[in-house]
Amino acid sequence: MDVSERLRQAREQAGYASAAEAARAFGWNEVTYRAHENGVRGLKREAMDKYARAFRVSPLWLWSGEGAPDKRNVVQVLGYIGAGAEVFTIDDLSKGDGLEEVELDFPVPYGSIALVVRGDSQYPVFEDGDLIGYHERSEDPNLLVGRMCIVRLLDGRTFLKRLRKGAQPGLFTLASANAPDIEDVPVDWAARYTFHIPSYAWRKPR
């Protein structure tokens, strides 16, 4: 079985009956994805990791056929939540300090990615080392009002906050229990919070 055949197998096992259905679900270019699955176009590492994450399979298995394909209790970790509920990506931290994926004790919602809480500024809601999950796809912020979300502002700052309506249409207030509200700001990107896993219930892969 070559890589294109493994890609097709991963797509089918994830519940997508056709290449077109998978492409629509994840917002991929259908022609490009179909060419990858048919073996017409070569796969680069970035695309390989994207497909492995989407279909919940091992990137190593997808690339080489080594190991087991099933990785349903693994989630990608993109960064950390620090003081003030601000999010810092792995690239912003010291080299070698970043986590790429972690193993969990139970499944999480499909399409989730995660952040790790650092420090005690989120106590008692979240503790140091807890894993916070959110959906990888952005939604209309107006549909997320009242929800806890990962929110990116136009200046690039990103927070875990509860989204509230601002004083004017198109503006929002970001609220949390342990930090001052950020009032009346435009939102560039927002995704819903999906899970909270205590520090003892996840680990780095061996």
Q: Which fold has domain 3-64?
A: 434 Repressor (Amino-terminal Domain) (1.10.260)
- pTM for this entry: 0.62
β-partners of residue 189 are 152
pLDDT digit string, tens, across residues 145-189: 999 999 999 999 999 999 999 999 999 999 988 888 999 999 999
H-state helical runs in 14-135: 19-26, 30-37, 45-55, 59-64
Q: Does residue 124 have a cis bond before it (omega within 30 degrees)?
A: yes
Distances, alpha carbon 4 to alpha carbons 39, 52, 59, 61, in Å? 5, 12, 13, 12
Distances, alpha carbon 147 to alpha carbons 97, 133, 190, in Å? 30, 14, 11
Checking if the pLDDT of 82 tops 60, the result is: yes
- The DSSP secondary-structure symbol of 153 reads E
Taking the C-alpha atoms of residue 162 and residue 151, their distance in angstroms, rounded to an integer, is 9
Percent residues over pLDDT 70 in the chain: 90
Q: Which fold has domain 74-203?
A: Umud Fragment, subunit A (2.10.109)
| Token code pair at residue 15 | 């519940």
Checking if the pLDDT of 55 tops 50, the result is: yes
List the single range of 32-41, 87-96, 116-125, 172-181 with lowest mean pLDDT: 87-96
Of residues 127 and 63, which shows the higher confidence score? Answer: 127
Distances, alpha carbon 81 to alpha carbons 56, 62, 128, 149, 176, in Å? 24, 31, 10, 13, 13
Output the pLDDT for position 152.
94
Output the pLDDT for position 94.
42
**Domain range list for the chain:** 3-64, 74-203
List the single range of 64-73, 83-92, 125-134, 183-192 with lowest mean pLDDT: 64-73
Q: How many residues does the chain have?
A: 206
Taking the C-alpha atoms of residue 49 and residue 188, their distance in angstroms, rounded to an integer, is 25
Output the pLDDT for position 124.
79
Average predicted confidence (pLDDT) for the chain: 85
Percent residues over pLDDT 90 in the chain: 46
Output the pLDDT for position 18.
94
Taking the C-alpha atoms of residue 151 and residue 148, their distance in angstroms, rounded to an integer, is 9
Pick the most confident of 87-96, 135-144, 196-205.
135-144
Taking the C-alpha atoms of residue 179 and residue 135, their distance in angstroms, rounded to an integer, is 23
Of residues 170 and 95, which shows the higher confidence score? Answer: 170
